């Protein structure tokens, strides 16, 4: 590069100088490189080696060679970037879908268990309908259309109607109302279960048990019906994977640094006996989960903000802050800073 600077005075002042662009692009590409043993000509390692070797062997005084090598290398990087973007987006879509499913499951469990708490003496037949079938009906409505949708409101109202229908009816007016409402209620339940392809044989058993509850309710009875235990209709602690004991959350500078991470930033951390580099590709707006990918867009790690804070706290992780600052800019800034420091030190007091 010194030879280029001597031949072309614009090297230092022109940020778009071909030699500077090539050097910056090589450095940026190498930043995300991980030694996977691939030294082929088509690998990143091979492409960098080819570019450097060509400059060393062919450059004499034609600065245009840098532009030619840059164009070839930049074309390779662009192709890789497009593939990485597709792979990265695929991973993020899957992760977003998993999180949305988790949110939906928790919300449905919360709603059904609230009904359970409000009605601790629900017949087993009703609890079985809610647990085995209607949970999925509500889950589907939530995932497809959301909690404000008509589908969700109808599924919610059906639960209210179902619970009311099995309560003992003492007043004649309530009995008349129940008799009129049963056909419509059963149709709603059947349609909902059919919509999730619920097993027809099992549905028949559930409706037979529900019929017994309705007969008892019309008679004003409740003690002849088997009552479910006080267990939750659906466990609320649903998880996407195996439960891992979380590390203690410590409010300190390390946690602040981890929480300040932004999508697109690169992090390097120690894993076993090796250092791993990854770009923060996705960060949950609900939980603290973060997805890191390599330069090919493949997931290399999934960590919580607290996991990252633990790494910072143990000096086992570091931010690659300068990845978006061109190498030559950093080098020149450092050189100018050193010159300023030298001048200040030699100035008379």
58 in helix, strand or coil? Answer: helix
Residue with tokens 């072309």: 8
Residue (of 52, 49, 60) closest to 23 by Cα position: 52
Query: Can you give the residue ranges of every domain in the chain?
Result: 121-218, 244-324
**HSE-up of residue 316 (Cα within 13 Å, Cβ side):** 12
Cβ atoms 280, 262 nearer than 8 A: yes
Per-residue pLDDT of the chain in tens (349 residues, 90 and over written 9) = 556 655 656 666 667 777 788 888 888 887 777 777 778 888 888 888 898 898 888 888 788 888 899 899 999 999 988 999 999 999 999 999 989 999 999 999 999 989 888 888 889 999 999 999 999 999 999 999 999 999 999 999 999 999 999 999 999 999 999 999 999 999 999 999 999 999 999 999 999 999 999 999 999 886 555 555 545 566 654 443 334 456 678 889 999 999 999 999 999 999 888 889 999 999 987 888 999 999 889 999 999 999 999 999 999 999 986 555 555 565 555 544 554 555 555 555 4
Determine whether domain 244-324 maps to CATH 2.30.30. Answer: yes
CA 83 to CA 251: how far, in whole Å?
Answer: 39
Name the packing angle between helices 18-31 and 327-346 (round to 10°): 100
């Amino acid at each position: 590069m010194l030879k280029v600077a001597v031949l072309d005075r614009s090297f230092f002042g022109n940020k778009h100088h071909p030699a500077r662009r090539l050097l910056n692009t090589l450095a940026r590409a190498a930043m995300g490189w991980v030694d996977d043993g691939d030294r082929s000509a088509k690998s990143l390692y091979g492409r960098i080696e080819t570019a450097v070797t060509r400059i060393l062997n062919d450059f004499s005084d034609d600065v245009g060679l840098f532009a030619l090598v840059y164009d070839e290398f930049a074309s390779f990087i662009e192709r890789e970037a497009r593939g990485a973007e597709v792979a990265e987006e695929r991973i993020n879509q899957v992760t977003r879908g998993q999180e949305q499913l988790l949110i939906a499951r928790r919300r449905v469990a919360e709603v059904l268990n609230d009904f359970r708490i409000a009605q601790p003496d629900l017949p087993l037949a009703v609890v079985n309908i809610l647990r085995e079938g209607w949970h999925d009906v509500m889950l589907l409505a939530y995932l497809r259309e959301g909690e404000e949708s008509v589908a969700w409101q109808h599924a919610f109202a059906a639960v209210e109607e179902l619970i009311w229908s099995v309560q003992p009816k003492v007043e004649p007016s309530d009995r008349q109302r129940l008799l009129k409402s049963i056909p419509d209620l059963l149709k709603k339940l059947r349609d909902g279960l059919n919509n999730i392809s619920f097993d027809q044989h099992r549905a028949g058993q559930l409706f037979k048990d529900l019929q017994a509850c309705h007969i008892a309710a019309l008679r004003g009875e409740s003690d002849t019906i088997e009552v479910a235990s006080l267990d939750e209709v659906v466990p609320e602690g649903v998880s996407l994977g195996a439960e891992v004991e979380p590390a203690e959350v410590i409010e300190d500078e390390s946690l602040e640094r981890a929480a300040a991470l932004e999508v697109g930033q690169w992090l390097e951390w120690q894993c076993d006996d090796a250092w791993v580099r990854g770009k923060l590709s996705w960060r949950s707006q609900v939980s603290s989960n973060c997805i890191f990918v390599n330069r090919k867009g493949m997931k290399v790690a999934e960590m919580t903000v607290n996991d990252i804070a633990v790494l910072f706290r143990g000096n086992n992780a570091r931010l690659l802050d300068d990845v978006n600052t061109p190498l030559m800019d950093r080098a020149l800034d450092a050189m100018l800073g050193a010159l300023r420091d030298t001048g200040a030190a030699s100035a008379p007091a």
